[in-house]
Copies of this chain bind each other. A is one copy, B any other.
Amino acid sequence: MKLSHEQIGRFEHDGFLFFPSLFRPEEVKVLTEEVPRLYAQDRPENVREKDSDAVRTNFAAHMYSLPFAKLAHHPRLVEPIVQLFGEDVYMHQFKINGKLAFDGDVWQWHQDYGTWKNDDLMPEARAMNVAIFLDEVNEFNGPLMLIPGSHRRGVLDARHDTSTTSYPLWTIDHDTIAKLVERGGIVAPKGAPGSMILFHSCLVHASTSNLSPWNRVSVYLSLCAVSNHIRRFKRPEYIAHRDFAPLRCLPDDCLLRDYEVNLPWKDGTPEQALKPQLAA
């Protein structure tokens, strides 16, 4: 999968690209069916909502789940990012965000790179986010809201918010958001399961709570240029990975066929992945 010249121009201007129904229903099904099994597990990678047992986000499924390990090596997401960076990439972060029916809480306005810079000492914003819808996303189940063009402002001042939700986040102040929205507006891509959003790690985004009876489970993968790997291992490894080996793509049909994939954490998370470490 190769981005066109027009797509690259649009990405540079808006900071994101939307690919409706990029994955076919039978491919999505392989992933969707795996989620309840992952969410039911009692492991540190499952972060639950503040006021309920609902899973807010599951980390690092590609280290212990076969379908998600295949997804992490899927050419439809790895190749466009390698193309944009002109360099190999590794998996910096891998999340399955629940935003479950009725219980899914907000994600405040933030840039992902703000956290990676502040917490992980990632040198540059040479990392890219990919969101893949496992459920239909509509106006009622808390769609991802993006401020087009906001990535061009680089890293914005942020405040570490540890109280609003169960997950600490570097968030951006209201005045800055108001100014960015005045210029770029807000868009919320909606579509069928299997749709994909590719967005810049400085693009400002948020999502509201999900009061609807429809789950809005999405996979969020963050792929980083290998030369731009993180320099500090303050956060657990299941949140900010420490293996900077380039991702090798599987064939395009990998979700539907048998392929050998390494699952190093399938019998549990190693002790050292749970703790801060001195960087190599």
Q: Which of B142, B164, B174, B188 contacts A101 (CB 8 A)?
A: B174
User: Is A209 a contact of B208 with CB atoms below 8 Å?
Assistant: yes
Question: How would residues 197 to 209 of chain A score, 1 for a CB under 8 Å from any chain B CB and 0 otherwise?
Answer: 0000000001111
Interface of chain A: mostly helix, strand, loop or mixed: loop
Which residue from chain B places its CB closest to the CB of A51 in the assembled complex?
Answer: B164
User: Is A208 a contact of B206 with CB atoms below 8 Å?
Assistant: no
Compute how far the CA of A209 lies from the CA of B139 in the bound complex, rounded to whole angstroms: 13
Q: Which of B51, B182, B213 contacts A181 (CB 8 A)?
A: B213
Are A102 and B177 also in contact (CB < 8 A) when A140-B145, A208-B208, A209-B208 are?
A: yes
Compute how far the CA of A145 lies from the CA of B141 in the bound complex, rounded to whole angstroms: 12
The reply on A47 being an interface residue by CB < 8 A is no
Compute how far the CA of A177 lies from the CA of B101 in the bound complex, rounded to whole angstroms: 11
A177 to chain B, nearest CB (A): 6
What count of chain A residues pass the 8 Å CB interface test? 26
User: Is A211 a contact of B208 with CB atoms below 8 Å?
Assistant: yes
User: Is B209 a contact of A106 with CB atoms below 8 Å?
Assistant: yes
The reply on A178 being an interface residue by CB < 8 A is yes
A97 to chain B, nearest CB (A): 16
The reply on A228 being an interface residue by CB < 8 A is no
User: Is A208 a contact of B142 with CB atoms below 8 Å?
Assistant: yes
A195 to chain B, nearest CB (A): 17
Interface residues of A in 100-131 (CB under 8 A from B): 101-102, 106, 108-109
Can you list 13 contacts pairing A with B, beta carbon distance less than 8 Å?
A: A101-B178, A102-B177, A106-B209, A106-B211, A139-B139, A140-B145, A140-B188, A142-B208, A182-B213, A207-B211, A208-B209, A208-B210, A209-B209
